[in-house]
Amino acid sequence: MKRFVNGDEVELSETKFLVTRLHDRILVHTDEGTFSAVAVRIGDSVFVSYKGRQYRVDDRAPRAQSGSHGGSGELRAPMPGAIVEIRKEAGDPVAKGEAVLVLEAMKTQQPLAAPFAGKLLDLRVRVGDQVNDGDLLAVVEQDEPVDE
């Protein structure tokens, strides 16, 4: 089935994995193991937090939005929740996929990961802060490519 994930059209196949609901979580069974996910419907979009990354899934192309862009380095709250852990501080180097902070929403902790290798340029939250959907939490600055 065709869907738009973070604005890009993709073919989602249900044959590569099995999804089951467990109370307020979703369990995704893959060849690599079983992973927990959280999905929240807001309007016509479904926001999914899976393996430390956040995805917006739409049936059709979403309208352009101001603010965050997939390659911007902005880490935004995928849903309302509380900041329960800060793993990096402003100025720290980060690896692609490395967790920067942890958001707790619907009794499930969701790490928010760096979208690419770089430096944590700005951290706008502290442990205990309550955040709303879409709030800017941190900004990662991408490493400059090395020319050889």
Residues sharing a CB contact under 8 Å with residue 12, sequence separation 6 or more, in sequence order: 1, 2, 3, 5
Range of the domain at 44: 2-58
Model pTM above 0.75: no
Counted domains in the chain:
2
Is residue 86 domain-resident? yes
Is residue 36 domain-resident? yes
Whether residue 78 is found in the same domain as residue 134: yes
Is residue 131 domain-resident? yes
CB–CB of 105/21 below 8 Å? no
Tens digits of residue pLDDT in 97-109: 899 999 998 778 8
Whether residue 49 is found in the same domain as residue 105: no
Residues sharing a CB contact under 8 Å with residue 148, sequence separation 6 or more, in sequence order: none
Residues sharing a CB contact under 8 Å with residue 54, sequence separation 6 or more, in sequence order: 47, 48, 76, 78, 110, 112
The Cα 110–Cα 127 span in angstroms is: 14
Whether residue 51 is found in the same domain as residue 90: no
Whether residue 42 is found in the same domain as residue 78: no
Q: Given a cut of 50, is residue 34 above it in pLDDT?
A: yes
Is residue 34 domain-resident? yes
Tens digits of residue pLDDT in 35-87: 888 888 777 778 888 887 877 788 776 554 433 344 678 898 888 899 999 99
